[in-house]
Amino acid sequence: MSKTIKILLLEDDPLDAELNITALEAEGYQCKWECVQSKNEFIAALDNPDYDLILIDYNLPGFDGLTALNILRKSQLNIPAILVSGNLGEELAIDSIKAGAVDYVHKDRLGRLVRSVKRALEENKLRVREREQAEDLALFSKLNQATINGSSISELIDILMVDMNIYSRAVGLNIFLLSQDQKYLEMQHFDLPAKVGEKLQKLIGTNLLSMRLKVDEQKRMQQALEKREKQILDVDEDIGQVVLGLVAALASKQDEASLKKLALKVKKLLTLKAVAFLPLIIENRKIGILAFSHKEHLSAQSIQRMESIASQVIEIIARKLADEEIEELHRQQKLILDSAGEGIFGLNTGGQFTFINPAAAEMLGYSVKEMLGKHCCICFYQGNLGDKSCANGECPVRKTYGDGENIYRGRIDFWRNDGSSFPGLFSSTAIKKEGVLLGAVVTFQDINEQVEATREIARLAEVVKQASITVAITDLEGDLVYINPYFEDASGFSAKEALGEKLSILKSGFQDDAFYKKLWDTITSGETWQGTIINKHKDGSFYHEDASIFPIKTKDGKIINFAAVKQDITERKRAEEQIRLQLSRLDSLHKIDTAISGSTDVNIILDVILEEAQKELAVDSANLLLFRPSLQSLHSAARVGFNVESLTQPQLRLGKGLAGKVALQRETIQVHDLREESDLLANSPELVREGFVSYVGVPLLAKGKLKGVLEVYHRSILEPDVEWLSFLDTLARQAAIAVDSISLYENLDKRNVELRLAYEATLEGWAHALELRDMETEDHSRRVTKFTTDLAIAMGMDGRLMDHVRRGALLHDIGKMGIPDDILKKEGPLTDEEWVEMKKHPVYAYEMLKEIIYLKPALDIPYSHHEKWDGSGYPLQLSGNAIPLSARIFAIIDVYDALKADRPYRKAWPEKKILAHIREQSGKHFDPEVVEAFFKMISEKA
């Protein structure tokens, strides 16, 4: 035995109290106990009656055990009490049992205590269970009677809450119902002990009956609803969180700190030990929460009882909701019957009218009162006064009201009271209850206008009978009433098979329900629908039709039929699809051509080819391998659609694997199903991992030489046609041409680079030759070239011109090659005649270089670097912006470098003097804008 029990000891001797506990624990009980001595302490302990057992001594200070038993009985607490006394006579024992003790034990015989306790607990458990069952039965009986008497849901809840609070011993019992939007829990009934309720309402300062809780702010209630299972809270912290959530909802204007303080006060007032939230779910529909609050910890039996109560509550509420829904349904049915445009009447098993809606009475020319009780044959046969039934087999609806056989869309003439008739369409449905036939309901409508219109349209349809278009007419329900012969040819259905059916017999599945709803909404609103429909032939094939579907109306605008005029455009659609495919493939080829012409990067081009192959051929993966002649092997250069990162064989020898065989044989290889090629799969595990099923490989050939292999893979069976294979071959040719062209380009580019380097070396050789001839300018060309390009870049010249600026600066004095040595190397001043000759060196430079196309863009500096801003320079006396910018830039750099060097006729100038000279010549010799840029660059370099 190992059972925890909580015991209240009414004992003035601590030693005796401990002896009692020791005796119980010796037998396996785990005791939690509290000992009181006085009457007031005993009464106070009963205010929080979380005890399984009370042991009472007889002799107590100020009162005795019998008095204590009377107090316990008046409290109506269901706690078993045992009298344990040292002077226990027979008379006292009998009095104690009468006063409510379940047993008595002498202190000298504590060995009996364990047996008495065990028996007391078991008997009390049985009594509690029997009492609860009786109470629950009384409650549910009361609720059922109230439901039968027509009580509303709110009245049922009031009965439930009041009686359950009496029976359940919960300190609080509340029911919350979900709002219509399911976002709030609204309290339907609030019940606490009067004093506790008053204190709580005063503490919170609001009316508790107006409690409306946001579901997402009450986490445990929300969990109960979402998980659809009970939530039991018996941990102090969890109960505190629930109390805080409720207080926050009721006193929402207070700050967080104040709410926490208030929640602590409320929790202290209620002294709760357990809270249970039970969801109310009716037919998978969340209704609300049943909340129990207890001052005791909940036992499994208590929880089971709460669940039982909740299930009964759900059943009663469900029944009431169902009753209310039935009442509403009856109300709506009557409204529908009274407002329906169709005629509707009910018949008993004898064929007499039991109800008639106004539309039926009006169409037949009677009042409702005139028809009730008469036989239905009054409206089926001329001259029948409704006082007798038709002969057997003559009444069109007798099979329904007499035999229970339903009739759908029957046709018959209905007779009016005035002797006239009209063609009608009717349906009759048997009414049964538990298999017993009660009668029938008949609906009908006047189809005179539809019949006339159908006849007229049928006559008009003869005009198009031989035309290659489909004509179909339906009634207002969408059932076919006419089709022309071409309908039969187009659909495969004969008139016998199609008439009476809906056009949905042609439904292909290509259009969804929303498509047909929109079509139906259009024509029923009186508009014409036009568009293309894919229909299904009787043999299962599909065909396209260009359709115009429209309502047929009477003169006053009433819709009486629907008509469809359709033309088979399947061949046109196929042609359009073929054109679209060809255009798409042409676009792909154009993209590939653009990539080839716009890029020299073989990887970019191959990626474009593979992407277009995957898209246009509708395959899962593609791989392009290039051939390396030196190694006689293939390597994967581009791939798309693979799951693995790389191939298991980066180098593939010719003749090995699928691609190796394609390359060696130089022929297309197609494998319909790789799964049947066990040898291939054994040597290519990557194909197994990828799950490929079909394969096609094409060699890349350019000018008769192998360039590589293009492979495509698919993870299901591939059925390529001739055009598909032709396009794949075209892609392979494009890829081969691209690889070959790029190879040629790379070789040509290499040659161009080599030639350009040779040109540059030649120019530097010319500059060096000039320096050897005129030693006073040694390294001058290299310095001014560097300085000039720096200043040009600083002034924002186009970077693409820098090569020409550099070459022009390097060759700026190349014209001096035409100046005689006696002038060029003269140490003294030149004569006027010699200066004339010296000033010709820009012209000599121009004449030397102008025929060299490679150097023509570099002529500005050699030809114009001696021109001056004010027009006083040579050889052309250009001025201002007429002088090329590169020459204007070089002019400053040339003067600056020349003045820094010694000459036979002068010494080098100091830096300061040079800069002052350049500043002074701004607007004369030099471009002022270039001068400013020069000084800025000098400043930054310093």
| 933/942 Cα distance (integer angstroms) | 14
State which amino acid sits at residue 510: F
Instruction: Please give the mean pLDDT across all residues of the chain.
Output: 81
Reply yes or no on whether the pLDDT at 536 is more than 70.
yes
Q: Is residue 338 part of a domain?
A: no
> What pLDDT digit, counting tens, does each position of 81-101 carry?
888 887 767 777 788 888 888
The predicted model gives 608-620 an average pLDDT of 85
Q: How many domains does the chain have?
A: 6
pLDDT of residue 252: 64
Q: Please report, for the domain that includes residue 34, its CATH number.
A: 3.40.50.2300
Least confident of 328-342, 416-430, 783-797, 818-832: 328-342
pLDDT of residue 253: 65
* C-alpha–C-alpha distance, residues 669 and 658, integer Å: 8
Considering the domain architecture, whether residues 786 and 899 belong to the same structural domain is answered as yes
Task: Kindly state the percentage of the chain with pLDDT values over 90.
Answer: 14
Indicate if 64 and 110 belong to the same structural domain. Answer: yes
pLDDT in tens, 717-758: 988 888 888 888 888 888 888 887 776 666 555 555 555 665
The mean per-residue pLDDT over the stretch 869-885 comes to: 94
The pair phi, psi for residue 510, each rounded to 5°, is: -75, -25
CB atoms closer than 10 angstroms to residue 173 = 26
Residues 162 and 84 in one domain: no
**For residue 891, what are its two tokens?**
């002019």
933 has pLDDT over 90: yes
Give me the pLDDT at residue 869, please: 95
What's the pLDDT band for 697 if we cut at 50, 70, 90? Answer: very high
Instruction: Name 214's bridge partners.
Output: 184
Q: How far is CA 502 from the centre of its chain?
A: 37
Cβ-based neighbours of 831, under 8 Å, separated by 6 or more: none
What per-residue confidence (pLDDT) applies to 1? 47
Same domain, 664 and 698: yes
Report the C-alpha gap between 544 and 522 in whole angstroms: 21
Is the model more confident about 932 or about 248? 932
In this structure, the answer to whether residues 723 and 633 fall within a common structural domain is: yes
For residue 502, give its domain range.
451-560
The C-alpha atoms of residue 790 and residue 792 are separated, in whole angstroms, by 6
**734 and 652 in a common domain:** yes
Provide the H-helix boundaries in 341-396: 358-364, 368-371
Composition of the chain by helix, strand, coil, percent to 5 = 50, 20, 25
Kindly state the average pLDDT of the residues 869-883.
Answer: 94
Greater confidence (294 vs 714) lies with 714
Least confident of 10-19, 411-420, 458-467: 458-467
Q: What is the mean pLDDT of residues 209-219?
A: 80
DSSP string, 79-138: --EEEEESS--HHHHHHHHHTT-SEEEEGGGTHHHHHHHHHHHHHHHHHHHHHHHHHHHH
Residue 301 has pLDDT above 80, yes or no: no
pLDDT beyond 60 at 19: yes
Give percent of the chain with pLDDT exceeding 70: 82
Q: Do residues 733 and 837 both lie within one domain?
A: no
pLDDT (mean) for 548-553: 91
Distance between CA atoms of residues 937 and 15, nearest Å:
108
Whether omega for the bond prior to residue 904 falls within 30 degrees of 0, making it cis, is no
Q: Is residue 474 part of a domain?
A: yes
Query: Once rounded to an integer, what is the mean pLDDT over residues 427-437?
Result: 86
- Other Cβ atoms less than 10 A from the Cβ of 616: the count is 18
Q: Are residues 167 and 66 part of one domain?
A: no
923-936: average pLDDT: 94
Sheet holding 231-233, edge to edge: 212-214, 184-189, 172-178, 285-294, 274-282, 231-233
Q: Using one digit for the tens of pLDDT, what is the confidence trace for 160-210?
A: 666 655 444 555 677 888 888 888 888 776 666 666 667 777 777 666 666
Local confidence band at 556 (pLDDT 50, 70, 90 cut-offs): confident
Q: Is the pLDDT of residue 660 over 80?
A: yes
Q: Please report, as a single letter, which amino acid is at residue 269.
A: L
pLDDT for 167 equals: 44
Residues 31 and 88 in one domain: yes
φ and ψ of 112, to 5 deg: -80, -15
Domain CATH for 667 = 3.30.450.40
pLDDT range class, residue 485, cuts 50, 70, 90: confident
Burial of 700 (0-12, 13-18, 19+ CB in 10 A): buried
573 CB neighbour count, 10 Å cutoff: 17
Q: Please indicate, yes or no, whether residues 808 and 842 belong to a single structural domain of this protein.
A: yes
Task: For the chain, state the CA radius of gyration.
Answer: 54
Q: Could you tell me the pLDDT band of residue 926, with boundaries at 50, 70 and 90?
A: very high
CB half-sphere exposure, 387, CA atoms < 13 A: 2
Across the range 786-807, mean pLDDT stands at 89
Q: What is the DSSP string of 39-77?
A: HHHHHHHHTS---SEEEE-SEETTEEHHHHHHHHHHTT-
pTM: 0.33
pLDDT at 696: 93
607: exposed, middle or buried (Cβ count in 10 Å: 0-12, 13-18, 19+): middle
Are 700 and 678 part of one and the same domain?
A: yes
Let me know whether 720 and 778 are in one domain: no
Cβ contact 63:97 at 8 Å? no
Secondary structure E strands in 163-245: 172-178, 184-189, 212-214, 231-233
The rounded distance, in Å, linking the Cα atoms of 917 and 51 is 115
Ranges 14-23, 334-343, 617-626, 699-708: which has the least confidence: 334-343
Answer yes or no: is 723 within a domain. yes
pLDDT of residue 934: 94
Q: For the domain that residue 479 is a member of, what is the CATH number? A: 3.30.450.20
